[in-house]
Amino acid sequence: MDDFEPTLDFAALSIDSNILRGQRYNFDGGILKQLEQFDGSIIPIIQPDVVHREGLKHLTAEIDQHLKSARSSLKALSKYIPSATTSDHLSEKLNSTTVASQMATERFQSFYSKVNGQVISASKVNVNELMDLYFDTLPPFENKAEKKSEFPDAIALLSLECWASENDKVMVVVSKDKGWHAYAKDSQWLHVVSELPHALSLFQPHTKITKVIERLRKDGALENSGPLYEKIMTALSNATANMEPEIQASSFHHYEYDDLQLEYVDHQLALASDTDELLVNIVSIEDNSAVIGIKALVTVHATASFNFSQYDSIDKDYVSLGGVEASIETTYETDVLIYFGGDWADHERSVTHEEIEVIGELELLDFGEVAPDYSSDRDEEYLWEWEQHKKEEA
């Protein structure tokens, strides 16, 4: 194990709530599960109380929304159940106002226990220092109207700085907040990065796995039509087809959509800005396994059927106006994790890629302006029926 013990420039890690929210609090998979490598290690994951509470608030709201959907489904199903006792019991349990909060709290506690995580109090934050940052408009505060909303960010950063100073540990902090990055420029204790795979790579030994990456780059295995390239393409294709993004469109009519189909078209892998080589992060490494991460820009072809209707104020109902099938091409960014296994003593021949996981999602599809298509006979019939209906009203 000694060969794999990292020589650390950084001795602690912290993760902002915008990163956890971006990963949809998927503590049991993807990049967040990779944090379990710190369990039992000398590297703690330090979460300021304000960040922890913000995460709890977001996750509680998300769970509460799912509970509302579950209650609605139980209510709909109850009419098909001869005895609704079980359904009523479950619905009553789901109606508890504390259920979502309890579930979120337990979720975070379980996560912390698996990743050597701990929440630190803001009690040691120097209030005078906090006020100086605010009134002098120093990072993370910015000179803008919503300046007061950045107090939680300032408290979180000062909490981390205080902990790192007391424990004499330089810390990697992961956040997409520009204020956090600006603050860290003048900090001797905090090093802020934007991506979690990049942060994890800072804690890994760059020995044998580095040679594997060099071999992959040299052979072009990640960008040519080789077995690994084909596996990445298949994984991206499968992940794309199974995504359920939010749909947006503009129309003069009320519309509903169905039959959404997503098709992978192509992908491009990110390059390092300084070398133009493929950007590869070492996520984790153990005696006989390793995980590397690469970032991909995926092109997608999306098709959906839109059905339009108009509200009839007399009949108090919606009248169909026909439909249209709309298509767009768009892109989304994702991280691809590649799992390697084998005999590291003979890494040139024995280490192989065993699994590929896609952890980013397409969150939004905007189809732009949509309207009924009256080019088909069926839609002409809808239009004729609507015109007749309006004549009868007149």
What is the structure's pLDDT at 323?
A: 85
pLDDT of residue 20: 95
Per-residue confidence (pLDDT) for residue 241, from 0 to 100? 94
Taking the C-alpha atoms of residue 9 and residue 12, their distance in angstroms, rounded to an integer, is 10
Q: Pairing between strand 280-285 and 317-341?
A: unpaired
What pLDDT is stored for residue 146 in this prediction?
67
Domain architecture of the chain: domains with CATH: 2-201 (3.40.50.1010), 208-393 (no CATH)
Q: pLDDT tens for residues 22-71? A: 999 999 999 999 999 898 888 899 999 999 999 999 999 988 888 887 77
**Which segments within the chain are labelled E, that is strand?**
12-15, 45-48, 117-120, 171-174, 190-193, 246-250, 254-269, 280-285, 289-312, 317-341, 352-358, 364-369
> What's the confidence (pLDDT) of residue 386?
63
The Cα–Cα gap between 227 and 233 comes to 10
d(CA 390, CA 69): 37
Cα 360 to the center of its chain, rounded Å: 6
Give pLDDT, residue 18. Answer: 93
What pLDDT was estimated at residue 2?
31
pTM of the model: 0.69
- pLDDT 10s digit of each residue in the chain, 394 long? 233 333 446 889 999 999 999 999 999 999 999 999 898 888 899 999 999 999 999 999 988 888 887 777 766 666 666 555 555 555 665 665 568 889 999 999 999 999 999 999 999 888 888 888 888 878 888 766 666 778 999 999 999 999 999 999 999 999 999 999 999 999 999 999 999 999 988 887 655 677 777 777 777 777 777 778 889 999 999 999 999 899 999 988 888 888 899 999 999 988 877 777 888 888 887 767 788 899 999 999 999 999 998 887 777 777 888 889 999 999 999 999 999 887 655 656 666 777 899 998 898 999 999 988 876 555 556 566 666 666 766 6
In terms of Cα–Cα distance, which of 328, 322, 318 is closest to 366?
A: 328
pLDDT at 7 (0 to 100): 41
Residue 271: DSSP 8-state: B
> CA 306: distance to chain centroid?
28
Residue 91 pLDDT: 60
Instruction: Give 255-273 pLDDT, tens digit per residue.
Output: 888 889 999 999 998 887 7
Q: What is the pLDDT of residue 60?
A: 92
